[in-house]
């Protein structure tokens, strides 16, 4: 008669232990520690864009990407060919030095191998940063033209119509 209560205690103990371990396992899986063995990662977004950079995960719903590069398609007018260029993000007018990407829009994250074509191009861009074409300086003053610019129109005045001729 003494065997049944002990058996129930052992069974209850094992059940509780099982559920505790299951909770710990689920909590560990949900964290999603994003560590890659390579220096750069490729991030594919749901709109078709691909960015290359150093990924940082701070546990929020946004990932931080630093040292960002992307591929720009450029058509050559003389040869009618399209060539792909690797462009370093940051040469834009607002000069961003990182990106915050919403994880809901990430389709895939892959490591960029150190000997891949992308990694070689990134090292080439970093070795020769002066060769990259700088973006125009938005703070620079406009160059005055030889012809005077028209005075701004009064509010409510159509821009395309000529003003009425003076009456004599």
Q: What is the pLDDT of residues 143-167, one digit of tens each?
A: 444 444 444 443 343 434 444 555 6
Q: What is the pLDDT of residues 113-123, one digit of tens each?
A: 999 999 998 89
| Full set of structural domains in the chain with CATH | 38-129 (2.30.30.100)
Note the pLDDT of residue 159: 38
Residue ranges of alpha helices (H) inside 32-134 are 117-127
pLDDT band at 106 (very low <50, low <70, confident <90, very high): very high
CA angle 137, 68, 128 (to 5 degrees): 65
Q: What is the pLDDT of residues 69-82, one digit of tens each?
A: 998 888 888 877 88
For residue 39, pLDDT over 60 is answered with yes
For residue 42, pLDDT over 90 is answered with yes
CA-nearest of 86, 46, 85 to 68 is: 86
Encoding tokens for residue 48? 């078709």
CB distance 71 to 53 below 8 Å: no
CA-nearest of 87, 42, 48, 86 to 65 is: 42
């Amino acid at each position: 008669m003494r065997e049944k209560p002990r058996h129930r205690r052992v069974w209850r103990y094992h059940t509780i232990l099982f559920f505790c371990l299951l909770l710990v396992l689920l909590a560990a899986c949900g964290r999603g520690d994003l560590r890659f063995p390579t220096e750069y990662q490729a991030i594919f977004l749901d709109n078709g864009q691909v960015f290359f950079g150093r990924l940082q995960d701070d546990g929020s719903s946004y990932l931080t990407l630093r040292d960002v590069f992307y591929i720009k398609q450029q058509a050559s007018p003389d040869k009618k060919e399209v060539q792909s260029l690797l462009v370093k993000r940051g040469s834009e007018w607002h000069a961003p030095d990182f990106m915050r990407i919403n994880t809901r829009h990430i389709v895939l994250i892959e490591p960029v191998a150190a000997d891949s074509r992308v990694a070689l191009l990134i090292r080439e861009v970093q070795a020769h940063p002066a060769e990259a074409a700088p973006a125009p300086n938005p703070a620079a003053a406009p160059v005055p033209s030889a012809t005077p610019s028209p005075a701004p129109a009064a509010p409510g005045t159509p821009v395309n119509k000529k003003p009425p001729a003076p009456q004599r």
